[in-house]
Amino acid sequence: MCTMICEKADMEGSAKGREGWFPLKNANVSYDHPFNAPWEYAVNIDFVNEDRGVGARVAVELSPESAKLLADSIMKALERGEADPQIQISVL
C-alpha cells in the first residue's frame, strides 16, 4: 500500500494454506513492503480465494532476482510441457 504497485490475475488451480487445500481464485502480485522477508520492498505473491476469507492465502515474498527466476522457470516448464501433446493439462 505504500507503493500501490499490485497486479491481480484470475487463477484456476489449488493452493495449500494453513487449513489445507482450497480452490484458487486470484494471484495478487505486489511490489511493496513484505511482512517477513528482510528487505524494505519485495515481490509479494499472494495466492488467494477471497470468497473463503482473507485467511485463504498462500504467500511468498521474493527478492527481485528470485521473482525473475521464478517467472522464467514457469515459462520454461510451460514451454517444455506444452511442446509434448501427450501431457496437455485439460481444465475440466
Binding residues for other proteins, rule: CB under 8 A, are 1-4, 6, 8, 26, 28, 30, 32-33, 35, 38, 40-41, 44, 46, 48, 50, 53-55, 57, 59
Smallest gap from Cβ 28 to other proteins, in A, equals 4
Burial class of 41 by CB neighbour count within 10 A (0 to 12, 13 to 18, 19+): middle
Smallest gap from Cβ 26 to other proteins, in A, equals 8
Sequence-distant contacts of 25-31: CB under 8 A, at least 24 apart? 25/49, 25/50, 25/51, 26/50, 30/3, 30/5, 30/6, 31/3, 31/5, 31/6
| Complex with other proteins: residue 55 or 81, whichever CB lies closer | 55
Smallest gap from Cβ 87 to other proteins, in A, equals 33
Strand partners, 57: 48
| Complex with other proteins: residue 1 or 92, whichever CB lies closer | 1
Smallest gap from Cβ 70 to other proteins, in A, equals 18
